[in-house]
Amino acid sequence: MRGTVRNGKLRHAMNPAASGSHAGIVTSRTHSLWRLRTYVRPYRWQLMAMTAAAMLASVAQIAVPLLTKRIVDGPIAHGQRGEVLPLGLLALLFGVAEAVLVFLRRWGSQNSSLGVETDIRRDLYRHLQRLPIAFHDRWQSGQLLSRATSDLSTIRRFIGFGLVFLVVNAATFVLVAAMLIVVYPLLGILVAVSAIPLMWVLLKLERRYKVQARRVQDQQGEIATAVEESAQGIRVVKAFGRRQLVYDRFDHQATRLQRDAVAKVHTLALLWAIAELHPQIVLAVIVLVGSIAVAHGVLTLGTMIAFVSLFLLLIWPIESMGYLLANAQEALSAADRFYELLDAPVTISDTDGAIAPVSPAGRVVFENVGFCYPDSTTKVLHDVNLAIEPGETVALVGAVGTGKSTLTGLVTRLYDVTSGRITIDGVDIRDMPMATLRTIVATAFEEPILFSASARENLTLGRPDATDDEVRQALEIAQAEFVDDLPWGLDTRLGEQGLTLSGGQRQRVALARAIVGHPRVLVLDDPLSALDVATEALVEEALRRVLAGTTGLVVAHRPSTVLLADRAALLSGGTIVATGTHHELLETVPAYRAILSQEVGSDIDPGVDSGVDSDVGVAR
């Protein structure tokens, strides 16, 4: 189970509805499936055509027993052999028509259902990108992954198969039952009435299956999270020799999934068994009663054969009812899980109509800023007031857990202030279009995230139109020219999370990514923590030139990083308690002096990455 550390406290990143406890399971509602109609609507004509094809195939099936009755009671009974061949060819024609219609139905329904699945997945991914960081803090990535993959596949199977055949099989049952009543009313009414207790039992079992299906789907999300975390943290697991511990945790989750899945399969097997037993019992009664009726001359042999043949057409609709109801319940649960994400509110809204500075000077002002995380009443920040003039750099200094990273995240609206406001050139950043704000402001994080893409793609993530000269300049400033020594240079594909690079190398690539776009405001969240002293000195020297013409906010732990800034601000107790030059604060603020003196002691670290030859760097 993931957690995030905020102000020294571990906040479990677990949404109740997504937890393994299943305490958040609610009864699935058909409303969730009904809401999917907006995705089905563009494909409605295809689905209707496929349903019609399935219906026509059922009609073709029904025609064959009726032709058989006519052949037996007509030409065969009266010795008119010449009429057998035309009627036999007509039956063959119906059989071929049924085969063609089944092919068209399968081909068309899969195409349309795959289109629906693709549209849903696009909307889900787009919405996940729009949701605030606070949402992703609370949700396990495995739960998101299972909803975006297996759940959507379940919905696709229901739309392309289950929904069509629930309609077709219900219509087939009604049509064939009506034909049976017409052919022989006594047995026809028996068949129709026998379906009532069957449906009562099946509906009772499917309510149990519904809860079990949701439990399995949630547990699959837990498994996905466990696998993802162990794969991403494999170096740590191996380094600490904790493979058995990780395996035991996974085995516990897998065993739980097995237990839940077996319970679900048990219910499904019971559904199938009852659905298959019912038509066999009814068929035995039909054969017994029908044979007696034929023996007493009440029923012709052809009518008996037609009746049995028609009833055989009901076996598949009856037997499949258990599977179709189970598929419908899985789709209901999957739709519930899908809309849990799609209904999650986008609390950080974008705007298209606001006017942002055309040529921003880059004056950043924090006015009485306060912030507390969602679902918490504790204020992480309060009454923060700070003005950073254009071209000025301010170093943010504070003890661990005082909210420095949180404050930097507010500038790019990774989180929104809960009180006060932040302005750039007098414009509230909440009134700026998000794309504009994130063009003006760039961030380099302490924990750099790189993607499984080429080095060039990672560098130009925020500026896809960056020129080769701009990329080269950013690499030089960040002392990241090592990318030229990679097997294919800038075109070398970096591993997932950039783990093919050392910690220091990842930080330098992330720093280059932040400055390649020449942002007007540069936010650096301690981006040099994994560098050795020599490399840090080179990077800082280059950064001084960049920051000279850029408004900068730098989270600093080392005195050398503080010296990059024109002023320093001390953050303590969730607010800024002192500002001034580095030397002024050293002389007048004991808390500031104490924090930096602690950091000086940790600067000399023989395990810190040199950034040149090592494969893996060690970040402080």
Instruction: Give pLDDT, residue 473.
Output: 87
Of residues 432, 431, 27, the one with CA closest to residue 213:
27
Map residue 370 onto helix, strand or coil: strand
Residue 451 backbone phi and psi in degrees, to 5:
-110, 160
Q: How many CA atoms lie within 13 A of 265 on its CB side?
A: 6
**Would the pLDDT of 456 be above 80?**
yes
Q: What is the average pLDDT across 213-237?
A: 78
Instruction: Write down the residue that tokens 């899980």 correspond to.
Output: 337
Distance CA 52, CA 57 (A): 9
Percent of residues, the chain, with pLDDT higher than 70: 82
Q: Which are the contacts of 296, defined by CB distance < 8 A and separation ≥ 6?
A: none
Q: Give the global pTM.
A: 0.69
**Would the pLDDT of 23 be above 70?**
no
**Would the pLDDT of 50 be above 70?**
yes
pLDDT digits (tens, 9 = 90+) for 221-230: 888 878 777 7
**Would the pLDDT of 442 be above 80?**
yes
Instruction: Give pLDDT, residue 530.
Output: 58
Q: What is the average pLDDT across 79-98?
A: 70
Instruction: Give pLDDT, residue 16.
Output: 39
pLDDT digits (tens, 9 = 90+) for 111-137: 788 888 889 999 999 998 888 888 888
Residue 256 backbone phi and psi in degrees, to 5:
-65, -40
**Would the pLDDT of 301 be above 70?**
yes
Least trusted range by pLDDT, from 39-53, 100-114, 172-186, 364-378:
100-114
Is residue 595 within 8 A of residue 519, CB to CB? The reply is no
Distance CA 512, CA 475 (A): 6
Q: Which fold has domain 364-446+520-603?
A: Rossmann fold (3.40.50)
Of residues 85, 83, 63, 87, the one with CA closest to residue 75:
83
Distance CA 53, CA 98 (A): 9
End-to-end CA distance of the chain: 24
Is residue 386 within 8 A of residue 398, CB to CB? The reply is no
Host H or E run for residue 99:
helix 84-130
Of residues 563, 598, 602, 589, the one with CA closest to residue 395:
563
Distance CA 202, CA 323 (A): 10
Distance CA 617, CA 504 (A): 6
**Would the pLDDT of 512 be above 70?**
yes
30-342 and 364-446+520-603 have identical folds: no
Q: What is the 3-state secondary structure (H, E, C) of 222-288?
A: HHHHHHHHHHHCHHHHHHCCCHHHHHHHHHHHHHHHHHHHHHHHHHHHHHHHHHHHHHHHHHHHHHH
Instruction: Give pLDDT, residue 385.
Output: 94
**Would the pLDDT of 22 be above 50?**
no
Of residues 514, 499, 523, the one with CA closest to residue 460:
514
pLDDT digits (tens, 9 = 90+) for 134-173: 888 888 888 888 888 888 888 988 888 888 788 878 888 8
Taking CA atoms, 22 is separated from 218, 334, 467, 553, in Å, by 7, 15, 51, 44
Is residue 572 within 8 A of residue 591, CB to CB? The reply is yes
Q: Which fold has domain 30-342?
A: ABC transporter transmembrane region fold (1.20.1560)
Q: What is the average pLDDT across 282-291?
A: 85
pLDDT digits (tens, 9 = 90+) for 539-583: 777 777 777 778 989 888 778 778 888 899 999 988 999 999 988
Q: What is the average pLDDT across 194-214?
A: 84
Q: 29 or 543: which carries more pLDDT confidence? A: 543
Q: What is the average pLDDT across 466-482?
A: 86
Map residue 358 onto helix, strand or coil: coil
Instruction: Give pLDDT, residue 250.
Output: 84
Structure-token pair, residue 343: 């209904």
Is residue 364 within 8 A of residue 423, CB to CB? The reply is yes
DSSP per residue, 132-188: -HHHHHHS-HHHHHHIIIIIHHHHHHIIIIIHHHHHHHHHHHHHHHHHHHHH-HHHH
Map residue 404 onto helix, strand or coil: helix
Of residues 566, 584, 482, 478, the one with CA closest to residue 528:
478
Beta bridge partners of 365: 387, 423
Cβ-in-10-Å burial (0-12, 13-18, 19+) of 85 comes to: exposed
Is residue 114 within 8 A of residue 156, CB to CB? The reply is yes
Q: 86 or 487: which carries more pLDDT confidence? A: 487
On average, the pLDDT of the chain sits at 79
Is residue 6 very low, low, confident or very high in pLDDT (cuts 50, 70, 90)? very low
Q: How crowded is residue 454: how many other Cβ atoms within 10 Å of its Cβ? A: 18
**Would the pLDDT of 43 be above 80?**
yes
Q: Which are the contacts of 51, defined by CB distance < 8 A and separation ≥ 6?
A: 164, 167, 168
Q: 505 or 576: which carries more pLDDT confidence? A: 576
Q: What is the average pLDDT across 408-424?
A: 91
Is residue 4 very low, low, confident or very high in pLDDT (cuts 50, 70, 90)? very low
Instruction: Give pLDDT, residue 610.
Output: 37
Is residue 371 very low, low, confident or very high in pLDDT (cuts 50, 70, 90)? very high
Q: Which of 454-468, 544-558, 600-614 has the highest mean pLDDT?
A: 454-468
Least trusted range by pLDDT, from 6-15, 390-399, 425-434, 440-449:
6-15
DSSP per residue, 301-356: HHHHHHHHHHHHHHHHHHHHHHHHHHHHHHHHHHHHHHHHHHTS---S---SSPPP
**Cα radius of gyration rounded to whole Å, the chain:** 35
Between 301-342 and 84-130, two packed helices, what is the crossing angle to 10 degrees?
A: 10
**Would the pLDDT of 603 be above 50?**
no
Distance CA 272, CA 20 (A): 28
Instruction: Give pLDDT, residue 571.
Output: 92
Q: How far from chain centre, in Å, is Cα 224?
A: 11
Taking CA atoms, 418 is separated from 25, 143, 375, 574, in Å, by 31, 28, 12, 14
**Would the pLDDT of 27 be above 60?**
no
Q: 589 or 352: which carries more pLDDT confidence? A: 589
Taking CA atoms, 104 is separated from 41, 58, 511, in Å, by 20, 14, 56
Beta bridge partners of 571: 398, 576
Is residue 552 within 8 A of residue 392, CB to CB? The reply is yes
Q: Which of 257-271, 307-321, 346-360 has the highest mean pLDDT?
A: 257-271
DSSP per residue, 541-609: HHHHHHHTTSEEEEE--SHHHHTTSSEEEEEETTEEEEEE-HHHHHHH-HHHHHHHHHHHHHH--TTS-
Instruction: Give pLDDT, residue 420.
Output: 93
Q: What is the average pLDDT across 361-374?
A: 90
Distance CA 430, CA 433 (A): 8
pLDDT digits (tens, 9 = 90+) for 62-71: 776 766 666 6
Per-domain boundaries in the chain: 30-342, 364-446+520-603
Is residue 357 very low, low, confident or very high in pLDDT (cuts 50, 70, 90)? low
Is residue 312 very low, low, confident or very high in pLDDT (cuts 50, 70, 90)? confident
Of residues 496, 530, 525, 526, the one with CA closest to residue 618:
530
Is residue 7 very low, low, confident or very high in pLDDT (cuts 50, 70, 90)? very low
Cβ-in-10-Å burial (0-12, 13-18, 19+) of 271 comes to: buried
Structure-token pair, residue 274: 């009852």
